[in-house]
Amino acid sequence: MAKPVLKWAGGKRQLLDEIYARFPEEYEHFHEPFFGGGAVFFDLEPRGGTINDTNPRLVNFYEVVRDRPDELIERLEEFRAPGSDPNPKEDFATENWKGKSIDEYFYQQRALFNRRPYADETWPETSEDKLEEAALLLYLNRTCYNGLYRENSNGGFNVPIGRYENPDWVRESEIRAASTALKNTEIRNDDFEYIGEVVSQEDLVYFDPPYEPMSQTANFAEYSAEGFDREDQERLLEVCKEIHKNGMFFVLSNSAVMFDLYDEVDGFTVENEGAKRSINSDETSRGEVNEIIATNVPVDSQRRTIQQASIGDFEP
């Protein structure tokens, strides 16, 4: 079984059993249009399908993991401890893009990683550039504060250094397992509506859009997650309706404020669930949050129902 290589906000490891319970017993291809850390995908290790994310750095990372695991591991082994002195042989050994003094190796690597948004030329462009960006993403992910991924308005990664005794940024076994899991998977960098072009009968789509924990009194009219607003949520609902209309299956996890929107659609079932959150810039915001799981898989075709019926067959 593969495991996520990256720490990523919104990961679903705490909800895997609840998500799988809504899956149909069998399906052909698995599609995940909001991939992030890929907790569901790597736990399933599906054979064929698509994954997608709108973050081009993340997409490049998974392409490198899939196609060049040995080179990635070799490059990761070359990085130094995040709190050590900057490497004088590399760029940004003394100042970052804004002329601010750099005195730790982590901030030098963060500046190198930010060539994509800040450099005058296109980067990454070459095969080696792409390998370097992938390695930097994993290194920074494992050594930054709380594993948080955050960009400023210009696209610059701006999370500060974390303070860990022995951070593991090589992740060799995780990279190799993830590479194997991704071998027969198409990796895309598109809007989630691409799914309408690739999903076929007997396929399953799992949607996990960006969303923020909301208060008990919040409602959809007030809802807006960073980079994914109400209009996007409404588009996503329409995609789910189209999948249902065409006789295909989806499972979706989302903020609890979306309950009524999905509950109003004939053929959809929606239930509340809770999930633990450990990645958040505000430590007071970590903990259990209210979420929903919605699906159009008929209740009598869901795994939990089939498994319960199977257990009942053996009762005295």
Task: Give pLDDT tens digits for 231-284.
Answer: 999 999 999 999 999 999 999 999 999 999 999 999 999 999 975 555 444 544
The pLDDT of residue 280: 47
Sheet containing 49-52, strands listed edge to edge, beginning at the edge strand earlier in sequence: 185-188, 49-52, 30-32, 204-207, 249-255, 287-295, 269-277
Cβ–Cβ under 8 Å, residues 204 and 295: no
Q: Can you tell me the distance from the alpha carbon of 273 to that of 21, in angstroms, rounded to the nearest whole number?
A: 12
What's the CATH code, domain 61-171? 1.10.1020.10
Q: Using CA of residue 81, residue 85, residue 90, residue 92, what is the dihedral sign?
A: positive
Rounded to an integer, the average pLDDT of 139-146 is 97
CATH 3.40.50.150 domain extents, the chain: 15-54+190-277+285-295
Place of tokens 């699906």: 295
Q: Which of 8-22, 135-149, 150-164, 267-281 has the lowest mean pLDDT?
A: 267-281
**Separation of alpha carbons 145 and 162, rounded Å:** 4
Asked if omega into 124 is within 30° of 0 (cis), the reply is yes
Please give the average per-residue pLDDT across 69-81, as a whole number: 98
* Burial track 231-262 (b if 16+ CB lie within 10 A, e otherwise): ebbeebbebbbebbeeebbbbbbbbbbbbebb
pLDDT at 214: 64
**Residue from 255, 257, 263 nearest 295 by CA:** 263
| pTM for the predicted model, two decimal places | 0.90
3 state SS of 238: helix
Cα 150 to Cα 55: distance, rounded to the nearest angstrom: 11
Q: Region 116-128: what's the mean pLDDT?
A: 97
State the average pLDDT for the chain: 91
The architecture that CATH gives domain 15-54+190-277+285-295 is 3-Layer(aba) Sandwich (3.40)
The predicted structure's pLDDT at residue 276 = 57
For CATH 1.10.1020.10, list the domain ranges present in the chain: 61-171
- What is the pLDDT, as a whole number, of residue 55? 96
Helix (H, G, I), strand (E, B) or coil at 157: strand
Which residue spans within the chain are E strands per DSSP?
Answer: 30-32, 49-52, 185-188, 204-207, 249-255, 269-277, 287-295
Q: What percent of the chain has pLDDT above 70? A: 87
Encoded tokens for 115: 């060539």
Give the confidence band of 314 by pLDDT, cuts at 50, 70, 90. Answer: very low
Q: Residue 49 has which token pair?
A: 């399908």
DSSP code string of 40-76: HHHHH--SSEEEE-S-HHHHHHHHHHHH-HHHHHHHH
Residue range 191-231, pLDDT digits in tens: 999 999 999 999 999 999 998 766 656 666 665 666 788 89
How far apart are alpha carbons 147 and 69 in whole angstroms? Answer: 21
